[in-house]
Structures are given as C-alpha cells and as structure tokens.
Chains A and B, each alone.
Chain A
Amino acid sequence: MLYLNIIVAGLLTGAVYGLMALGLSVIFGVIRIVNFAHGEMMVLAMYGACLANARFGVDPLRALILVVPALFLLGYVLQRGLINRYIARPDHEQFLLLLAVATVITASLLMGFGPDARNVQLDYAYDSYQLGAVLLDKVRVLAAAGAVLGAAALWAFFRFTRTGKAIRACADNQVGAQVVGLDVKRLYAVTFGLGAACVGAAGCLMLLLVDVQPYIATDYTLLAFITVILGGLGSMPGALLGGVLVGVSEALSGFLVEPSFKSAFSFGLLILVLLVRPQGLLGRA
C-alpha cells in the first residue's frame, strides 16, 4: 500500500510537470523554437498568482482566470514583437535571444520581489483525503485535476476550433499554410501565447505545491526539457506522458534507492530514451 501511495503522489505531481512541458512542446511543435525562457515564464506566473493572493486574497486556482490571459498576452507580444524577427535566423541566435529574455525576467523578479521564497497560505494546504489505504494530498489532487483539465482544453482547441486547425496546418506544412492564405506570423504569435498560457496555468497550480523564488526557474526549464524529450518533442500526448513518467520515476527511485538520487534517475531515463528512441516515446521520427 505504501508503494501505491508513492506512485499516486508521483502521478499527481507528474500531471503538473506534463502541463508545464505541454507549453514547451506546443511552441516547438509549431514554431520550431526552443523556449529557453520557459521556466522563467512559469516563475513569472507563480509570482502573479502569489501577488493576487497577497493583495486580494485570491486563491491560486481562481488566479488562473487572471494569470492565464496575462501570460497569453505576454507570449503573443513576445512572439509578435521579438521572436518572429528571429524565425529565419540560425538556431544559436534564437537560443541566445531566449536566454536573454530568461535573464531579463529573472533579474526583474529579483528587483521587484527580492530573493526571498514566497508562498500562499491556504486553508486547505494541509488537508488530505483518505481513500482506503491511499492518502491523497488535497492540493496535489487539485493541481493534477487542473493540469488534466488544461491539457484537455488545449486538445479541444486544436481539434475543434478553426484557429486550432490553422495552427496544426502551419505545423504540418508552413509553406502550404502560406499558400492557402493563412497569416502564419499571427498564428505563430497565437501559438506562443498558448504555450505561455499553458505554462502560466502550470505556474498557478505549481504554487500550490512549492514556494517560489526567482532562482528556481532554471530547474524548471531543465525539467520541461527532460519531460518533452522523453515524451517526444512536439507531441502533446508525449508531453503529458513524459511528465507522468518523470513524476512517477522520481517518486519510486527516491523511495526505493535514495531521495538524493531522484534527479539522477530522471536524467538516466533521458539518456536511455535518447539512445533507444531519440525521437521520444510518442515523437515522430
């Protein structure tokens, strides 16, 4: 039963990792840009939710209504005003641009909020559900439910809306999309906005689980990379699968081997997948 508890905890955390990585995967899948500022954007969202809580007493789950559109807008403007100019540039210039964006975000957060760790005080922060022998942490359940809902909403958007279908067309064949008259640059901006909105939602949910400080961003960028590479860069279901795999493998290795070995296990898994299936578990070759 103890193992079941550990696996469930890993699954729930992994779902949030999945949502965070989904944003990275969507952006890469369509625009073919690797967002090195991904973790920083999530931390920005966490501070947004934290601020909403400190100023107005808004629960991070309700803060989603504010933070997600704000991050969408940020992503949209960033793509429209800055990244679109770099689309045709070499990869290393794109990396440098996004690393610069990441540094600007972290430095701004440091100036605005200082280096202290911040968190939200919630009435239900210490609650847990007992389901038979399984003990479910309430905030983890809420965060995972939010992540699954967010992923489902994104899937529905791509599947059923005209804009979603147009974005998929851009991803499949950019030249073809231009030929049929799609405004590719606008669609790219919408895509980056959607990726940013995903990571914004993940930030609000993550704030339920961890304290925020400017320096944690790099760790999450790295975690998002591991997750999407495991699942398959550009694959939406792959990002979710990667998140769950990382969550469960960290939980089990931490319990069975040594907690300080958790990260080593995730990276080990990454090396294994890169060796055996370089395109990722659900990625296209």
Chain B
Amino acid sequence: MKRRLTRRDFALGAAASGALLAGAGRARAATRPIKLGSLLPRSGYEALIGQSCQRGVDLARKMLPEMGYAIEVIDADTESKPEVARTQAEKLIRDGAEMLIGAFDSGQTFAIAQVAEQNGVPFVINIGADPAITEQGYKYIFRNFPTSVMLGSHGLGRFNDLFQATGTAPKTAVLMVATDTFGQTMLKGINALMPKLNLPFQIVDTISYDPQAKDLSIEVAKAKAANAELQMVVTRLNDAILMVREMVKQKYEPMAIISPGSPGMYQTQFMKVLGKYADYAITNIPWLDPKQSLSRRFEDEFNKANPGEVCTLDAGFTFEGFLICADAYKRAGSAKPQALVEALAATNLPDRVMIGGPITFDAKGQNVNLPSGVVQILDGRPTVVLPPENAEKKPVFPVPGWSQRA
C-alpha cells in the first residue's frame, strides 16, 4: 500500500537532513587543515633563537599530520621588532590565518596579543615570559610558557634541590644580569623571592650589563673581584658566550655558573663556540622530558632533520604551541573563533614534549603546569639532571676548573 507523505513526515525528514548536513559541515571543518600563522624573530638580533624556534615549526608541519591533525602553516618574520610583529600579525589575519602562534619575545608577543584580541583571533604564545601579557583580561590569548615570576620562583626553587642532591652549598653568590626587560623582570623576581626561599647563600654583588655588549671583560673582572663562591646569571645568548670566554681568560673559577631560568647557556651556539668550556653550565628551566614518549620521538625527528644542532626548549615549546592549536581545532570541529577559544580553554593534553603535567589553561589563559628542571651541559649536550624522576644523569657540582676540562 502506498503511503502518503504527511506534513509531519516532511518535517521529520527535513530535520534529519538538516542534522546530517550540519554533521557533514562539522566533519568538513575538522578535516580541512586549519590555517595557523607563525610569528617568530627569524632575523634581527634575536635571529638565532628565532631560527631555533623555527625548527619546532618545521617539525610540527611534519609530525602533526602523522598524528592525525590537519594543519596549514603560514610563516612570518617579526625581525625582532614589536612594530613589525604587529604589522605581520595583521597581514597574517588578512591572509586568512585562523589562529596565531609566537613570538618568543615579550615585547613582540604583546604587540601581537593586541592585534589578536582586536580581531578576535586566538593566539597561543610559544615563548614570552612577561607576566602582564596574561593579566590584561584578554579572551583570545593562551600561554604555554611560564611567566618570569614562575621562571624565577621555579628556577630558584631548584637551587636547594641541587645543593641537597650534591651535598654542597655555597655561602655567597654574585649575580650578573642583562639590562633588558626580561633581565630586569627576573632581577625584581629574584630580589623578592630570595628572602622567602631560605637559600643558603647571600648575593654579595649584582652587576647589570647591556646584553648587546661586545666586550664583558670589565663586568667579569668586577664579578671576580666580588670573590663569591657561586656565579648566578640572567643572560641572553651572545652575552653568555662573552661572559664565559672572559671568565676563562681571567681564570675566574666559581663553584658553578647557574642561571635561574634564562636563555643562552643551553643553546647550540653556546656549545659550538665554547666547546669544553660550555660544559657544566647549569640552567634551571622547563625542558624536554626525556621520559615522555612524544618527547623522545620529537627529539629523534629533530636530530634527523637538524644534524649537529641541539634540541632545545625553543623548538619544544614552539612544537607544543602548534600541538595545542591543532588539538583545539580537532575538538572544536570548527574554525570559528569562539569555538576555538572554548576548545583552547578546555585543553587537557597529557602527552607532551616538555617536563610537567598535562597542558591545561587557567581562567587567564596561562598554563600553570610548567615546572623547571635542572639542565646541565654534560659532554656537550644539555642534560636533565634534576628532578630525579626526569633526570638522565646526576648533577656535577661543584664543577671542575677551566684547566681541568678534557
């Protein structure tokens, strides 16, 4: 018997077709690659670190599709200048970028954050430590990197772990600190935290210097004259090299050179230029977790793609930035900004590259699961030596003198 099509049947059918079409639309949105705009200082005075981050972008391009994520990356160069970062962010958005990632430096990151917020485009910060970035009430900004306050407190917190693990503690330290925004924010943090952390040493002298200086002989002579047991530093890359070179020349041999969380002493160029004199330098910093399977895979791929380079946190955090974006897009099932922001806020990624618990964000868009490890250069390679659960080797402290290096 032939059944007539009633109005109810028609309504039901239309609803079902609508639902099907909507589902197909969502599926299509999730399978087409999301356009991710990458902003890094690939030229200018931060170019070396920018290139180091870029290796993380290149690995994200290769590894994320293999992990089932669909991404398309558009690269942009901030030229190490905030004003260029701003115009490049605007250009990326005009070119169709649906999420932004960057930008290593706090000044440039701030400029991009303002553009992202104004345009309603989600922005995931790979590296950038100024606490103010996540204190502006921005809705589209997420940071998977510790603030300078977190870096300082976690980094200083590891000093006691190191002294306990090695059974040796210095009584005095001299602090050499760069005069840029990062250095001075760290200095404020160190001065505020030192009395609270019950550290065994006193800072007997603080020497501020220009991180773009071409000669640090006077600064190192002054540090040596302070006659302290420990050399504490907040450096960038070139100044870290100049500093160690001068320390060798001036036969200045403290118990160790330790950074509570600054770039420089774990970077390829530091080891390439200084060779055996780079060994034993210590940085307390978030690092790649040698015990995580994704981290080991990332490092293997990195070594294959970049022979002779050292896999550092720059590449690790940049890769994680892309992972966070790709994961949010996959869960959102849509490239609409609001859906992406909601998905980003709900991020919970236990499989990660860096040391720490799952990647999650607090109400301000800050990941608070970012502890520091103690990373020491051993045999020309940055090696996690503490905490014990992540360590590959035991820490060496006090370190051998310059003339005792093989």
With contacts A117-B238, A259-B209 known, is A254 near B248, CB below 8 A?
no
Q: Are A209 and B215 in contact (CB under 8 A)?
A: yes
Residues of B within 8 A of A255 (CB): 218, 221-222
Q: Which A-chain residue is minimally distant from B218 (CB atoms)? A: A254
Residues of B48-65 at the interface with A, using a CB-CB cut-off of 8 Å, are 48, 51
Q: Is the interface of A mostly helix, strand, loop or mixed?
A: helix
A251 within 8 Å of B by Cβ?
Answer: yes
A173 within 8 Å of B by Cβ?
Answer: no
Residues of A166-203 at the interface with B, using a CB-CB cut-off of 8 Å, are none
Query: Which of A27-35, A157-165, A211-219, A270-278 is the contact stretch?
Result: A211-219
Q: Are A260 and B217 in contact (CB under 8 A)?
A: no
A57 within 8 Å of B by Cβ?
Answer: no
Residues of B229-271 at the interface with A, using a CB-CB cut-off of 8 Å, are 238, 241-242, 245, 248-251, 269
A115 within 8 Å of B by Cβ?
Answer: yes
A2 within 8 Å of B by Cβ?
Answer: yes
A-B residue pair count with CB separations less than 8 angstroms = 83
With contacts A115-B44, A119-B273, A216-B214 known, is A6 near B221, CB below 8 A?
yes
A50 within 8 Å of B by Cβ?
Answer: no
A87 within 8 Å of B by Cβ?
Answer: no
* CB proximity of B244 to chain A, nearest CB, Å: 10
Q: Are B218 and A6 in contact (CB under 8 A)?
A: yes
Q: Are B209 and A135 in contact (CB under 8 A)?
A: no
Q: Are A259 and B219 in contact (CB under 8 A)?
A: yes
Question: Which of A121, A258, A260 has most B Cβ within 10 Å?
Answer: A260
Q: Measured between alpha carbons, how far is A177 from B37 in the docked complex, in Å?
A: 65
Q: Are A116 and B47 in contact (CB under 8 A)?
A: yes
With contacts A126-B245, A126-B277, A260-B210 known, is A2 near B219, CB below 8 A?
no
A59 within 8 Å of B by Cβ?
Answer: no
Q: Give B196-240 as 1s and 0s: 1 = Cβ < 8 Å from A's Cβ atoms.
A: 000000000001111001111111011001000000000000100
With contacts A211-B241, A262-B218 known, is A117 near B225, CB below 8 A?
no
Q: Is the interface of B mostly helix, strand, loop or mixed?
A: helix
Q: Are A251 and B218 in contact (CB under 8 A)?
A: yes
Q: Measured between alpha carbons, how far is A140 from B246 in the docked complex, in Å?
A: 12
Q: Are A9 and B248 in contact (CB under 8 A)?
A: no
Residues of A within 8 A of B47 (CB): 114-116
Residues of A within 8 A of B273 (CB): 119, 121, 211
Q: Are A260 and B179 in contact (CB under 8 A)?
A: yes
Residues of B within 8 A of A254 (CB): 218-219, 222
Residues of A within 8 A of B277 (CB): 126
A250 within 8 Å of B by Cβ?
Answer: yes
* CB proximity of A255 to chain B, nearest CB, Å: 5
Residues of B26-49 at the interface with A, using a CB-CB cut-off of 8 Å, are 43-45, 47-48
* CB proximity of B206 to chain A, nearest CB, Å: 10
Q: Are A259 and B238 in contact (CB under 8 A)?
A: no
Q: Are A9 and B221 in contact (CB under 8 A)?
A: yes
Q: Measured between alpha carbons, how far is A210 from B216 in the docked complex, in Å?
A: 10
Chain A interface residues (CB < 8 Å from chain B): 2, 5-6, 9-10, 13, 110, 114-117, 119, 121, 125-128, 135, 137, 140, 209-211, 215-216, 219, 250-251, 254-255, 258-260, 262-263
Q: In the complex, given contacts A116-B269, A211-B214, A215-B44, what are 11 additional A-B residue pairs having Cβ atoms less than 8 angstroms apart?
A: A9-B217, A115-B45, A117-B48, A126-B277, A135-B251, A211-B273, A250-B218, A258-B208, A259-B209, A259-B222, A262-B218
- The 4 A-B pairs of least Cβ separation, nearest first, read A254-B218, A115-B47, A210-B214, A259-B219
